[in-house]
Structures are given as structure tokens and as C-alpha cells.
């Protein structure tokens, strides 16, 4: 906290179990944008460490580039008086400050081999053609290509051109619906003047075709962001004196690359939104309501690090005649083909169950339905069961079609596998299935998961090696279904430092 930052990137996060993964992803984006791969692992662990110490209110993470090092601040308002602890990773310095009901937990790490020379020294020289500019342009292209977040692209654009080409920069993005013009991101060499600049820009109509205009004491250069024949926004550069002639061409070079990066990010975000909507459509539309004698809980987390629809799914629904059905499945692969098989499986299960077919008969017919898809077919692992309340607890008739084994936890802490794995679905047309009956006494817990849990990997080791999942479940004796599901989820998350590359579904059924 000793030198003026050369660049700052910030984001706000909600508290809860998603806070630490979100902080990790944001830090990866920041390190990519700043080409700081040498400290990526340390920065990611540091962000997770500090964000794991926040209290149950929203918080902000601010990363500052100080030339010779990087500084993270975790800011939280209305935090309790107690101070968070020291980071668990080596840092150059750290501390906690309090001001205006805001607690800031900060730490600084050094950049290996950095000279600490601030970027403003480069900007003091008159821009000129040649290797310096070409190197800067290449670095700018790498930074812009390093993110697919459309909200981060304007921030990267601004911090590329300030102070190298301009004293300040405002990036606008045009929405299809029109509306008032407001900068998507605003940056100034003097951070204290950002609010003043925002007020000055509020009354200005930015020409979408570009050009040069006067704004208070600054000359403003407007560069349209054009991609695929569309104007996506504008990059506005300002400085108190006149721009040199060759800056116009430099700005246009940056603008072309910025527009391409923004277009790619918008396309990716659109596809990701469509995939999220498709993923939601493959999950149960509603809760099953109160089930006599049963305390259920479900955790479902898509991997979230790629732009593909996953193949994991679950369901829990009323089947009629005082019974309920559940299913946990995993389709091979990802993308639209996997999604098609997922949708086929979930709807087939519900339809046949409500027509009175037993669990084995349902899987017989589902296997044939998948094979009928021909080249579009994907094999599927599935655990499907029927829950029937009885005076002594719950009777569960189950079939496992090549799925990770279901585990039963007794109140005593004893864990055992309760169903035999049979043939995968969508592979053998002659396959037939047989249901097995499992009884759950009050207090017994049945756990079913997908391989996103059992095959969570760290350094060549899987979570379920040496009966790892059974050992985790044994520690959950006496807990509610929700507490069991959350403990398993946290254990999967904490097993490896990197985000999971596979979807995860956890279904917990506890007899009451």
C-alpha cells in the first residue's frame, strides 16, 4: 500500500458457498489480463484464503498492479470487530485496516523479476512507430484475448490506453434497446477525478460514428468499436493537450482489437446464457413437496468453467399410489448431444413411472429408447429408485445401471454399498435389469452421487480412492440430509485447489 497503482480491477461477490470459487475465477481473469502467470497460483490461493474469512455480507475484491508487485484488498462493510488472520500463503506484507465501518483485509505479493517501473514512464515519451509500439500492441492483443467476460473487456481497454495514449478513457457499449449513454467503464490517471469526469460525460452525446470533440478542458477522441459490420460501442480517449497525429492511428489499432475481443466475449456470453437455459430445462421443474418419512436434499453444480452443457442430472418426483421416484444420472460427454439424451432420460423416467412401470421395467425401455437414437445416442449411467414409506422406515427398490455405487450410512457410523452395478444404458440392446430392495430404518442415510464427486482429482489421486467417499459419509452420522449434502459438497470442493472440470450431483435421502 505504498505506491500508486498502475491498474486496478475490482468485483463484488455475494457471501456463501459460491464466494470462494467466484473469487478464484475473478483472480484468474485478472492475472490473465495482466499477463501475471508467474504468480497465478499464489494469487488464486491468496484470493481464496482472504475471501474465505469474510462474514455473511457482500464483499469486494480489489486487485491493484503496483509495478513491482500485486496487491489484493478484500473490503467488507459492517464487518465484526474481530480481525481476520494472516494469509496462509507467503506474502511480502499484509494487514487489516478499518475506516467508515469498512474492514479491508489486504496483502501484497512481489512479481518475480519485475523492475517496478510504472507504466506512466513509458507514457511520458512521445509515441513513435517501431518496436516499442509493436510490442505494446502485441501485449494489448494478448490482454484482450485473455478474457471472455464482456464486462471485463471495457476495463482492460481503459487500462491499456491510460496513461500510454491518454489521460483518461471511457468505454461505452451500445445496447440493442437503446437508452441513455453511460460508460461501461471509466478510468483516469488521477483516480480522484473519476466522479468529476463521469458528471461531465453525463451530458454528452457520444457520436457512434466516431470523431474528435472538446470536453471541458480535454480534447476527446472517439473511436468506434466495429466488428462484423456492427458498432458495439465506442472508446473515448481524453487528454488536456492536443493528441499527436500518429495517436489517431494507434487508437484505431487498439480499437480494432478491442472490438474483436468484445465481439468474441459477447458471442461467448450469449452462447453461455443459452447453455445455462438449456441446462436449467434439464433439471426438475419443481420440488416434490413433503414426502412422508423422508428428509431429502440435493446439490447440483455444473462445472461452469467451459461453455458446454453438462450431462449430469437428478430428479425426485411423486409417482402416484403413495410412492416417489428418484434418479441420478450421467450422460457420456457434454454439449447438445449429451443434453438431448439427458432430456430423453428425464422425461422417459417421469412418464413411465406415472404409468405404473417398475424401476427395472423403466430402465429396460429407456435403454431401448436411447439405442433408437442411432448415431445421436450416448451411453448413460443411472441410479433409479422407488421410495415407499412403510411403518418401520422406507423401502427403496433400486437399479444401478453402471453408476457409482450408492452408499447407506447407519446412525452408528457404519457405511456400506447397497446395490449391485448392472449394464450401462445405451450400449447393449439385449440388456435387462433387475431391481434390488433396500430398507432404510429411521436415521439411515442413502447417498447417491455422479462421478464429478468420486473422480475429483488431485495430483493423480481420486477422491474415492481407498473408499474416500465412504469415509467422508461415515463422518456425517447424525446429520440432517442437507448437512450431509453440504459436507460432501465442501469436501469435493476442497479436495483440489483448481475448479472442477466435471458436473456434480449429490442426492441424499434420510429416513425420519
Q: How many domains does the chain have?
A: 3
User: What's residue 134's pLDDT?
Assistant: 66
Tens digit of each residue's pLDDT (9 = 90 or more) over 123-174? 334 444 455 566 667 777 778 877 888 888 999 898 888 888 889 999 999 8
SS3 assignment, position 339? helix
Q: What is the CATH number of the domain that holds 446?
A: 3.60.40.10
SS3 assignment, position 426? coil
Residue 117 has pLDDT above 80, yes or no: no
User: What's residue 333's pLDDT?
Assistant: 76
| Dihedral sign, Cα of residue 490, residue 491, residue 496, residue 501 | negative
Q: Please report, for residues 74, 178, 258, the alpha-carbon distance to residue 229 in angstroms, rounded to integers and kept in the order given.
A: 41, 18, 15
Out of 281, 298, 330, pick the residue that ends a domain.
Answer: 281
Tell how strand 421-422 and strand 393-401 pair up: parallel
Residue 442 DSSP code: T
Residue 107 has pLDDT above 70, yes or no: yes
User: What's residue 46's pLDDT?
Assistant: 94
Q: Across all residues in the chain, what is the average pLDDT?
A: 85
User: What's residue 437's pLDDT?
Assistant: 96
Most confident region among 269-278, 314-323, 424-433 by mean pLDDT: 424-433
Higher pLDDT, 306 or 123: 306
Q: Is residue 507 within 8 Å of 298, Cβ to Cβ?
A: yes
Q: What is the CATH number of the domain that holds 261?
A: 3.30.450.40
- Would you state the cell numbers that stand for residue 327, as one nine-digit string? 434418479
Residue 122 has pLDDT above 50, yes or no: no
Q: Are residues 220 and 297 in the same domain?
A: no
SS3 assignment, position 128? coil
SS3 assignment, position 154? helix
- Would you state the cell numbers that stand for residue 97, as one nine-digit string? 485496516
Nearest to 406 by CA among 389, 432, 381: 381
Please state the rounded mean pLDDT for residues 185-212.
Answer: 89
Q: Are residues 343 and 487 in the same domain?
A: yes
Q: What is the CATH number of the domain that holds 52?
A: 3.30.565.10
Burial of 455 from C-beta contacts in 10 A (0-12 / 13-18 / 19+) = middle
Q: Are residues 357 and 379 in the same domain?
A: yes
Please state the rounded mean pLDDT for residues 40-69.
Answer: 88
Helix runs in 355-448, H state only? 359-371
Show Cβ contacts of residue 365 under 8 Å, excluding neighbours closer than 6 positions: 348, 352, 357
Show Cβ contacts of residue 153 under 8 Å, excluding neighbours closer than 6 positions: 144, 147, 258, 261, 262, 265
Burial of 161 from C-beta contacts in 10 A (0-12 / 13-18 / 19+) = buried
Q: Are residues 129 and 272 in the same domain?
A: yes
Q: Please report, for residues 163, 261, 294, 512, the alpha-carbon distance to residue 143 in angstroms, rounded to integers and kept in the order given.
A: 16, 10, 52, 55
User: What's residue 133's pLDDT?
Assistant: 63
Q: Are residues 43 and 24 in the same domain?
A: yes
Among 198-207, 275-284, 309-318, 388-397, the range scoring the smallest mean pLDDT is 275-284
Among 116-125, 126-135, 302-311, the range scoring the smallest mean pLDDT is 116-125
Q: Are residues 473 and 332 in the same domain?
A: yes
Q: How confident is the model at residue 232 (pLDDT cuts 50, 70, 90)?
A: very high
d(CA 406, CA 403): 8
Q: How confident is the model at residue 176 (pLDDT cuts 50, 70, 90)?
A: low
Please state the rounded mean pLDDT for residues 50-66.
Answer: 87
Residue 4 has pLDDT above 70, yes or no: no
Residue 266 has pLDDT above 70, yes or no: yes
Residue 63 DSSP code: E
Q: Are residues 139 and 210 in the same domain?
A: yes
d(CA 136, CA 34): 13
Out of 281, 303, 332, pick the residue that ends a domain.
Answer: 281
User: What's residue 506's pLDDT?
Assistant: 94
Higher pLDDT, 253 or 508: 508
- Would you state the cell numbers that stand for residue 153, as one nine-digit string? 473487456
Q: Are residues 277 and 155 in the same domain?
A: yes
Q: Are residues 58 and 207 in the same domain?
A: no
Cis? peptide before 163, omega within 30° of 0:
yes
Burial of 213 from C-beta contacts in 10 A (0-12 / 13-18 / 19+) = middle
Q: Are residues 379 and 500 in the same domain?
A: yes
User: What's residue 329's pLDDT?
Assistant: 92
User: What's residue 123's pLDDT?
Assistant: 38
Among 173-182, 209-218, 353-362, 405-414, the range scoring the smallest mean pLDDT is 173-182
User: What's residue 36's pLDDT?
Assistant: 82
d(CA 89, CA 234): 41
Among 42-51, 252-261, 298-307, the range scoring the smallest mean pLDDT is 298-307
Q: How confident is the model at residue 182 (pLDDT cuts 50, 70, 90)?
A: confident
Please state the rounded mean pLDDT for residues 111-130.
Answer: 48
Higher pLDDT, 494 or 217: 494
Residue 382 has pLDDT above 60, yes or no: yes
Q: Are residues 339 and 465 in the same domain?
A: yes
Q: Which domain holds residue 472?
A: 285-511
User: What's residue 114's pLDDT?
Assistant: 55
Out of 117, 147, 175, pick the residue that ends a domain.
Answer: 117
Q: Please report, for residues 36, 153, 267, 299, 393, the alpha-carbon distance to residue 142 in angstroms, rounded to integers and kept in the order given.
A: 12, 12, 19, 38, 61
Q: Are residues 133 and 41 in the same domain?
A: no
Q: How confident is the model at residue 100 (pLDDT cuts 50, 70, 90)?
A: low
Q: How many residues does the chain have?
A: 512
- With the CA atoms of 437, 438, 439 and 441 taken in that order, what torsion angle do they form, in degrees rounded to the nearest 10? -170
Amino acid at each position: 500500500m505504498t505506491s500508486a497503482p498502475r491498474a486496478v480491477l475490482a468485483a463484488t461477490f455475494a457471501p456463501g458457498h459460491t464466494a470462494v470459487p467466484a473469487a478464484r475465477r475473478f483472480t484468474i481473469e485478472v492475472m490473465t489480463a495482466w499477463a501475471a502467470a508467474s504468480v497465478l497460483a499464489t494469487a488464486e490461493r491468496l484470493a481464496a484464503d482472504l475471501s474465505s474469512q469474510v462474514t455473511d455480507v457482500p464483499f469486494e475484491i480489489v486487485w491493484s498492479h503496483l509495478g513491482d508487485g500485486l496487491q489484493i484488498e478484500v473490503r467488507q462493510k459492517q464487518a465484526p470487530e474481530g480481525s481476520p488472520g494472516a494469509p496462509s500463503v507467503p506474502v511480502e506484507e499484509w494487514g487489516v485496516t478499518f475506516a467508515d465501518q469498512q474492514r479491508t483485509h489486504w496483502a501484497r505479493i512481489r512479481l518475480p523479476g519485475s523492475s517496478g517501473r510504472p507504466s506512466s514512464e513509458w507514457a511520458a515519451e512521445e509515441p513513435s512507430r517501431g518496436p516499442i509500439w509493436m510490442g505494446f500492441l502485441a501485449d494489448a492483443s494478448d490482454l484482450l484475448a485473455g478474457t471472455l467476460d464482456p464486462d471485463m473487456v471495457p476495463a482492460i481497454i481503459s487500462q491499456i490506453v491510460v496513461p500510454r495514449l491518454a489521460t483518461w478513457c471511457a468505454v461505452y457499449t451500445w445496447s440493442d434497446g437503446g437508452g441513455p449513454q453511460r460508460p461501461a467503464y471509466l478510468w483516469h490517471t488521477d483516480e480522484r477525478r473519476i466522479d468529476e469526469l463521469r458528471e461531465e460525460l453525463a451530458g454528452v452525446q457520444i457520436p457512434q460514428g466516431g470523431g474528435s470533440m472538446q470536453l471541458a478542458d480535454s480534447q476527446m477522441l472517439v473511436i468506434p468499436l466495429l466488428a462484423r459490420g456492427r458498432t458495439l460501442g465506442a472508446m473515448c480517449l481524453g487528454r488536456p493537450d492536443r493528441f499527436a497525429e500518429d495517436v489517431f492511428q494507434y487508437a484505431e489499432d487498439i480499437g480494432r482489437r478491442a472490438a474483436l475481443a468484445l465481439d468474441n466475449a459477447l458471442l461467448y456470453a450469449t452462447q453461455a446464457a443459452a447453455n445455462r437455459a438449456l441446462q436449467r430445462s434439464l433439471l426438475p421443474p419443481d420440488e416434490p413437496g413433503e414426502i412422508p418419512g423422508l428428509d431429502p436434499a440435493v446439490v447440483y453444480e455444473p462445472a461452469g468453467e467451459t461453455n458446454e452443457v453438462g450431462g449430469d442430472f437428478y430428479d425426485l418426483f411423486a409417482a402416484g399410489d403413495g410412492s416417489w421416484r428418484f434418479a441420478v444420472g450421467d450422460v457420456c460427454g457434454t454439449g447438445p448431444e449429451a443434453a438431448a439424451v439427458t432430456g430423453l432420460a428425464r422425461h422417459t423416467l417421469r412418464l413411465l413411472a406415472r404409468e405404473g412401470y417398475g424401476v427395472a421395467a423403466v430402465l429396460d425401455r429407456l435403454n431401448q429408447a436411447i439405442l433408437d437414437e442411432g448415431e445421436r445416442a450416448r451411453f448413460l449411467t443411472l441410479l433409479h429408485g422407488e421410495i415407499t414409506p412403510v411403518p418401520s422406515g422406507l423401502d427403496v427398490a433400486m437399479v444401478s445401471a453402471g453408476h457409482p455405487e450408492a452408499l447407506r450410512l447407519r446412525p452408528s457410523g457404519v457405511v456400506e454399498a447397497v446395490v449391485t452395478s448392472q449394464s450401462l444404458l445405451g450400449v447393449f440392446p439385449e440388456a435387462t435389469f433387475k431391481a434390488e430392495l433396500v430398507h432404510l430404518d429411521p436415521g439411515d442415510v442413502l447417498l447417491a452421487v455422479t462421478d464429478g464427486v468420486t473422480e475429483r482429482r488431485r495430483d493423480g489421486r481420486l477422491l474415492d480412492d481407498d473408499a474416500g467417499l465412504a469415509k467422508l459419509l461415515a463422518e456425517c452420522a447424525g446429520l440432517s440430509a442437507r448437512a450431509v449434502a453440504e459436507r460432501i459438497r465442501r469436501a469435493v470442493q476442497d479436495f483440489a485447489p483448481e475448479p472442477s472440470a466435471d458436473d456434480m450431483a449429490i442426492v441424499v435421502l434420510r429416513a425420519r
